[in-house]
Structure 1
Amino acid sequence: MDRNDNEESSKYLHVEVITISDSKKAAMGEGRDEDKSGKIIQKKLEDAEISSNRVIISDDKAEISKELDKKIYNSEANAVITTGGTGIASRDKTVDVVSEFLDKRISGFGELLRWRSSEEVGGAAVLTRATAGIANQKLVFCLPGSPNSVKTGMDLIAYDLPEILKDIQ
């Protein structure tokens, strides 16, 4: 399949973007959208002619679970991309909650993202638990909250998303 075929099939794809951050949610409540990473995801998807919606939620296990349930089981989305909450701090719960939803893991995604990120930030790249998998026939990607990591991750995802989705459907 060449790039043109991917572009044609991407016109019918929709991705739900979930930013998970206490501070970004608080800023949004005050009328400020400080979600650089979510905006980067949407821009990369737009460039690949994939539609998207974005929400910002707190790093709260119940809130993450509720939002994932809506996006994975009760939406027309083909994929869900989260950003934030993938680190090792006690407040970082995204990967733990997402793991409860996954039918299959795509281990190579997190490994590749950490490897690519290590070229930029060195050994600190191993501190992310970024992951991917399949839940209810939808792709789910968990990206770190760092804008640079999101750019790296989206370079791995955006243009290949149509082809990956064909493999799971």
Structure 2
Amino acid sequence: MKSKSMLQHKKEAPKKVTCAVITLSDSIKNKKQDKSGKILINALNEKHIVKEYHIIPDDSKMLKSLIKKLANDVDVIFTTGGTGISNRDITIETLREIFEKELEGFGEIFRYESYKRLGSGVILTRSTAGIYNKTLIFALPGSPNAVKLGVNLIIDELGHFVKHVRE
């Protein structure tokens, strides 16, 4: 059951938002190889507008620089990759350095829904979301199935989320 205020907020929210997708990978070199990036772009373009798409290595400085540039041009940034626990997985630490607010609920729901499908191995993912410079950022794992799950959890609420970030 949805609240009256939530329904009102959704009415006032933008119907389409602009998005950017960043794939972080040391092994993916071109857009043809990037299955997760394609899945994310295709899903987002069904309801919103993907303005930017980049593939970068797992490099903290490059990620911060790109996010700072993109935050001036889009409402929402999605990253895919680098959310695990290997030494090269730098996405979460990098984002937490720049987040003005973290939206822990996304990671909690993502892990809960993943757990129902996959079991306790999902403890290894550190997916999260947050806000930087009035821009929403969602950090998804690099696996295609994880990207499908993550985007499906939030795609219908993106306009609602953006409305609140802009306030």
Q: TM-score, normalized by length of structure 1?
A: 0.87
Change in 2 beyond 3 A, CA 1:91/1:51: closer
Instruction: Please name the residue that 2:94 is paired with.
Output: 97
- State the aligned residue count: 159
Equivalent-residue separation in structure 1 for 2:118 and 2:54 (angstroms)? 28
Equivalent-residue separation in structure 2 for 1:64 and 1:145 (angstroms)? 15
Contact residue 56 and residue 62 of structure 2 kept, 8 A: yes
Equivalent-residue separation in structure 1 for 2:23 and 2:48 (angstroms)? 21
Q: Give the superposition deviation at 1:159.
A: 1.4
Q: Give the superposition deviation at 1:5.
A: 5.1
Equivalent-residue separation in structure 2 for 1:143 and 1:103 (angstroms)? 19
Indicate the percent of aligned positions where both proteins have the same amino acid.
Answer: 40
Equivalent-residue separation in structure 2 for 1:58 and 1:51 (angstroms)? 21
Secondary structure of 2:77's aligned partner? strand
Moved over 4 A (4+): none
Instruction: Please name the residue that 1:38 is paired with.
Output: 37
Instruction: Please name the residue that 1:21 is paired with.
Output: 25
Equivalent-residue separation in structure 1 for 2:132 and 2:88 (angstroms)? 24
1:48-101 C-alpha deviation (Å, 9 max, x unpaired): 1333321100001222222122112xx320011100000000110011111111
Instruction: Please name the residue that 1:86 is paired with.
Output: 83
Equivalent-residue separation in structure 2 for 1:62 and 1:33 (angstroms)? 25
Instruction: Please name the residue that 2:3 is paired with.
Output: none
Instruction: Please name the residue that 2:47 is paired with.
Output: 48
Unaligned runs of 5+ in 2: 1-6
Instruction: Please name the residue that 2:135 is paired with.
Output: 138
Equivalent-residue separation in structure 1 for 2:11 and 2:45 (angstroms)? 16
Instruction: Please name the residue that 2:14 is paired with.
Output: 9
Equivalent-residue separation in structure 2 for 1:76 and 1:166 (angstroms)? 16
Contact residue 57 and residue 64 of structure 1 kept, 8 A: yes
Contact residue 68 and residue 98 of structure 1 kept, 8 A: no
Q: TM-score, normalized by length of structure 2?
A: 0.88
1:166 equivalent in alignment to 2:163: yes
Instruction: Please name the residue that 2:4 is paired with.
Output: none
Alignment RMSD (CA, Å): 1.8
